[in-house]
A and B are shown apart, each in its own frame.
Chain A
Amino acid sequence: EDQVTQSPEALRLQEGESSSLNCSYTVSGLRGLFWYRQDPGKGPEFLFTLYSAGEEKEKERLKATLTKKESFLHITAPKPEDSATYLCAVQANLWGSQGNLIFGKGTKLSVKP
């Protein structure tokens, strides 16, 4: 069964304190791994898509990496405005779940000034 597990559930950081969020997955043929950011009461906002092991993508203070079993979202010198819930999702091959995304439960990040 395709599955996505995110850890930790919640993470509190001081401003400037770098850390990483983890997304472990099991999927029958990975087509893509997605990271989204979600602010309270709003829809998820796309951050990155990773397609193959070894791939990395960066955006401002965020860097996403991918291995065959997990993905990390590294946050370097975070600011309070980085506080949000970060969602990870995998897209299996089309013959599995018709390519629909399977989401993890998210990691709630709080960055204090």
Chain B
Amino acid sequence: DADVTQTPRNRITKTGKRIMLECSQTKGHDRMYWYRQDPGLGLRLIYYSFDVKDINKGEISDGYSVSRQAQAKFSLSLESAIPNQTALYFCATSDGDTKPFFGPGTRLTVL
């Protein structure tokens, strides 16, 4: 089984719809992250969580919200999706200062 799982892997939705992307991990890491990747812009941090009760905004949090349901689960929500949120979304986990381990990604298209 994969260490970091993201669902769905692909999603096409319409402007204004609420979307939730889910991430779960079996690595036992405390820290979890949501990144967005756009062509030519690299990976940008949306939100991060150091434990269940600690959630922080990253570089580009506007239009997004998150929920850390358990140590192993971290969800990203788009309350009202817009076309410029079309991107690849990656969940990552780490243990303290160790390297982040990335999930396989979710390709989101907002029409």
Main secondary structure of the interface of A (DSSP, over half): strand
Q: How far is the CA of A91 from the CA of B101 in the complex (A)?
A: 14
Contact segment of B11-19, B36-44, B74-82:
B36-44
* Residues of A contacting B88 in the complex (Cβ-Cβ under 8 angstroms): 41
Task: Tell me whether B103 and A43 are in contact (CB under 8 A).
Answer: yes
Chain A: interface residue total (CB-CB under 8 A): 22
Task: Tell me whether A43 and B99 are in contact (CB under 8 A).
Answer: no
Whether A87 contacts B43 in the complex (CB less than 8 A), given A41-B107, A100-B58, comes out as: yes
Whether A44 contacts B102 in the complex (CB less than 8 A), given A91-B97, A103-B43, comes out as: yes
Task: Tell me whether A103 and B42 are in contact (CB under 8 A).
Answer: yes
A36 (CB) vs chain B CBs: closest residue: B102
Task: Tell me whether B105 and A100 are in contact (CB under 8 A).
Answer: no
Task: Tell me whether A105 and B101 are in contact (CB under 8 A).
Answer: no
Task: Tell me whether A49 and B99 are in contact (CB under 8 A).
Answer: yes
- A105 touches which of B42, B45, B56, B102 (Cβ 8 Å): B42
Query: Which residues of A does B touch, CB under 8 Å?
Result: 31-32, 34, 36, 41-46, 49, 87, 89, 91, 98-101, 103-106
